[in-house]
Amino acid sequence: MRGDWRALVLEPGMIVALADAPGLWRIEEREWEAMAVRLALRRLAGAGGSAPGSVSSGQIVRQLDAPHGPTRLMLADLPRLTEGVANGPQLVAAASGGPGWRSAALYALDAGGTAEPIGRTALRAVMGQIDAALPPGSTLLLDMVNSLSVTLLAEDMELASADGAALAQGRNLCLVGQELVQFGRAVRTGPASYRLEALRRGLRGTEWAMAGQEAGTPFLLIEADRLVDPLAVAGMEGDIGAAMRLLAIGIGDVEPATAEVMIDGAALVPPAPVHLNAVLDGAGGWRIGWTRRSRAGWRWSSGGDVPLAEESERYELRVLDGARLVRRAEVTEPGWTYDAAMIAMDGVSGPLSMDVRQVGTRALGRPGMIEMLL
């Protein structure tokens, strides 16, 4: 439409009504030409007489402009983290970096050094290392004596405290070297450092890994959405005794991050029996007893035994005189008698030790140990 000079007050985007046309109109263009104002109009949808609410054209959403930092990659062979029985090794890969780190391309290396792409890493994991040696602690009670000092990769990473109910649901589970630990309290001691207290040690049968936790040992907070299973992604089963090596390359990496692990099949290995005891049988021998544990039963089950998780219940026992094997036996119940006739036949006296392992369907379990004095 065309109008006189008074239409110069109108601007593109305004909503106007016309005397000779129904509805509302939006001004698309305005031009001054031939001593008149020309307006290009577009009728608004609908026949009503009310203008729609104001609409924003939006704005660009930018990610935080923060340093990417070099990619850090961890690869771990873990016991099964959820309930149930594992039928294959449970490997997890975690990666992280600086505040600007998002993800990295993941590659599996074969024996010849050829890199095969297997997708990308998960979300940025909370990772770091411990700052001081962590002595062994009790697996039966909360470890209120020792604390764990940790420095994380970046200052924006956080660790939080958790109450007993949250811990029972699996909160604050972390991997320290090869030991699974939970912490109840997290005290910030620096920009990226924490002191972790009220520890639950050697979880899911990892008490064997409590020794050797020195300064510099890797630390990883276990969060399911920040881990990937490289075996599943690569379509591999993972043979026990084989090595798996991964590369991760992020957008800011000059060199790829690497991680390698020997596949032990921790999810397939029965945990060590506990509560081993030895009592005299009254006839010159010893009666040995223990309590079994199961790789399928990590939660307390009131009123019932833990599930077996193996095809049959079998145990291998070894009587040792120092490093010398004196006798080997296999039983199908959690008890065995080292009777006087056996002791006389073995010709032993003085201190002896005995280890007991559960014979699993896929692997021999870790040993429980007891000392005896004949």
CA distance 186 to 290: 36
Ordered strands of the 274-280 beta sheet: 274-280, 286-291, 335-338
Contacts (Cβ under 8 Å, ≥6 apart) of 258:
73, 245, 246, 247, 248
Separation in Å, CA 138 to CA 210, 220, 243, 327, 344: 10, 21, 32, 31, 37
CA distance 204 to 175: 11
∠ at Cα 136 (287, 203), nearest 5°?
75
Contact 308, 353 (CB under 8 A): no
DSSP strands (E only) in 201-323? 218-221, 243-250, 257-262, 274-280, 286-291, 315-321
Residue whose C-alpha is closest to residue 296's, from 242, 357, 361: 361
Token pair for 95:
């990666």
Tens of pLDDT along the chain (374 residues) come to 777 767 777 888 788 888 777 778 888 888 777 667 788 888 776 545 555 555 555 666 555 567 778 999 999 999 998 878 888 899 999 999 988 888 999 999 888 888 899 999 999 999 999 999 999 988 888 999 999 999 999 999 999 999 999 998 899 999 999 999 999 999 999 999 999 999 999 999 999 999 889 999 999 999 999 999 998 888 877 888 889 999 999 988 889 999 999 999 999 999 999 999 999 999 999 999 999 999 987 776 666 777 888 999 999 999 999 999 999 999 999 999 999 999 999 999 889 999 999 999 989 999 999 998 88
Contacts (Cβ under 8 Å, ≥6 apart) of 357:
270, 272, 273, 315, 316, 364, 365, 366, 367, 368
Domains and CATH numbers, the chain: 2-43 (no CATH), 72-266 (no CATH), 274-298+305-373 (2.60.40.10)
pTM: 0.78
